[in-house]
Amino acid sequence: MSIQTPNTMHILFIADPLESFKIYKDSTFAMMRELQKRGHTLAVCGPEAISWQQGGVVCAAAVDIRLTGDPQRWFEVVTPSDHGKPVALRDYGAVLMRKDPPFDSEYFYATHLLEQAEREGARVFNKPRALRDHPEKLAIMEFPSLIGPTLVTRSAEEVRRFHAEHRDIILKPLDGMGGMGIFRVRDDGMNLGSIIETLNKSGAQSLMVQKFLPEIAQGDKRILIIGGKPVPYCLARIPQGGEVRGNLAAGGKGVAQALSIRDREIAESIGPVLFARGLLLVGLDVIGDKVTEINVTSPTCFQEIQQQTGYDVAAFFVDALENFSSVDM
């Protein structure tokens, strides 16, 4: 394990396999690059490498890496003298949970291991309990004045009543990501019954229904909040080719733009509340002036914003990480 000096930290990233990274747009890579630039050292592992045993502490069988600057072979493993030996999470300067959704049972178990590591002295971002307490679709319920008409239910009849009232609706699974499983049903109600059955598994699973917001044509805005403060630019993800989804993973076009006055008001209403609970990094999804999701597991769009505006989101993030890694939250 690398030795930390008073001014540098050894940072553990818990993430998806590095081989899957698309470094030209990956936000976790942008964090790593900025950390290494400042002299911090990097370690990585997946959630499967974390363990705990009675009488011991939470450890990770991680590897130290160094970024090479080569876009093809972009990292190399640095073999320390104790290579292969699990390291206590409390011995890292900070632990960044950057595993992509879905928030499945294994992700849930990982948050409990990370919370135990916190009790042992580890500094974990985002805070594990806060990750559990803020499911990305449902977290908006806490801020009803900032969202559009929304229903969460298992009941097909309630969905039909919601459609009868609003006529043009969006249906989506609560555990979806990247725009997967999202359906629009217009005034004619075509295929509504089939879509309900698909999403609620004949009443076995809850789903979310929202009034369709025509402002999606101007983009589904990703507003980043770091340390309780909004990044001054957002990424409007604009649906393409007749799609209703703006998600980049679903083919949306990302256009960076300055926050509007209303965007900033929304971010400043939500950001401090969530930061006080240990959410260092949050990504709001906003259509028009309505919040549709609150992303806390692995918010993205760092690089797209920097590439189009010059604003260094990763530097803003690392500033916050350096400031708060030594402060109780």
Catalytic residue among 220, 285, 290, 304: 285
Q: 232 and 208, same structural domain? A: no
Active-site residue identified among 33, 99, 137, 221: 137
What is the pTM assigned to this prediction? 0.94
Q: What is the pLDDT of residue 101?
A: 86
Closest CA to 227 of 267, 286, 287, 174: 267
115: which 2 tokens?
Answer: 């919370």
Active-site residue, 184 included: no
User: Based on the domain organization, do 109 and 98 belong to the same domain?
Assistant: yes
Whether the predicted pLDDT of 136 surpasses 70: yes
Active site residue 245: yes
Q: Whole-angstrom Cα distance, residue 207 to residue 197?
A: 10
Q: Is residue 313 part of a domain?
A: yes
Q: What is the pLDDT of residues 294-316, one digit of tens each?
A: 999 999 999 999 999 999 999 99
Angstrom distance (rounded) from CA 7 to CA 4: 8
Q: Domain range holding 190?
A: 149-212
Count of other CB atoms within 10 angstroms of residue 23: 17
Is 237 in the active site?
A: yes
pLDDT band at 1 (very low <50, low <70, confident <90, very high): low
Per-residue pLDDT, 81: 52
pLDDT in tens, 69-124: 999 999 999 976 556 689 999 999 999 999 998 888 999 999 999 999 999 999 99
Mean pLDDT across 142-147: 98
Let me know if 172 is a catalytic residue: yes
The pLDDT tens digits of the residues spanning 211-223 come to: 999 999 999 999 9
Report if residue 252 sits inside a domain: yes
Strand pairing class (75-78; 290-295): unpaired
Query: Residue 73: inside a domain, yes or no?
Result: yes
The CATH code of the domain that includes 48 is 3.40.50.20
Residue 3 in any domain: the answer is no
Choosing from 33, 172, 211, 221, the catalytic residue is 172
| Residue 4 falls inside a structural domain | no
- Tell me what pLDDT residue 76 has: 97
% pLDDT > 70, the chain:
95
pLDDT at 143 over 60: yes
Catalytic residue of the set 26, 99, 295, 304 = 295
> Tell me: the pLDDT tens digits for 253-269?
999 999 999 999 999 99
Write down the mean pLDDT value for the chain: 94
- The per-residue pLDDT for 327 is 64
Q: Give me the helices (H) in 184-243, please.
A: 192-200
Average pLDDT over residues 31-50: 97
**Domain co-membership, 118 together with 59:** yes
Least confident window among 277-281, 282-286, 289-293, 325-329: 325-329
* 137 assigned to active site: yes
- Annotated catalytic residue: which of 222, 247, 263, 304? 222
> How many independent structural domains does the chain possess?
3
Confidence of residue 5 (pLDDT cuts 50, 70, 90): low
Whole-number Cα distances in Å, 74 to 39, 71, 83: 17, 5, 21
pLDDT tens string 166-209: 999 999 999 887 778 899 999 999 999 999 999 999 899 999 99
| Phi-psi region at 15: left, alpha or beta (left = phi > 0; alpha = psi -120 to 50) | beta
The catalytic residue among 33, 99, 127, 245 is: 245
- 293 an active-site residue? yes
Alpha carbon 47 to chain centroid distance? 16
Q: Which of 123, 127, 237, 290 is catalytic?
A: 237
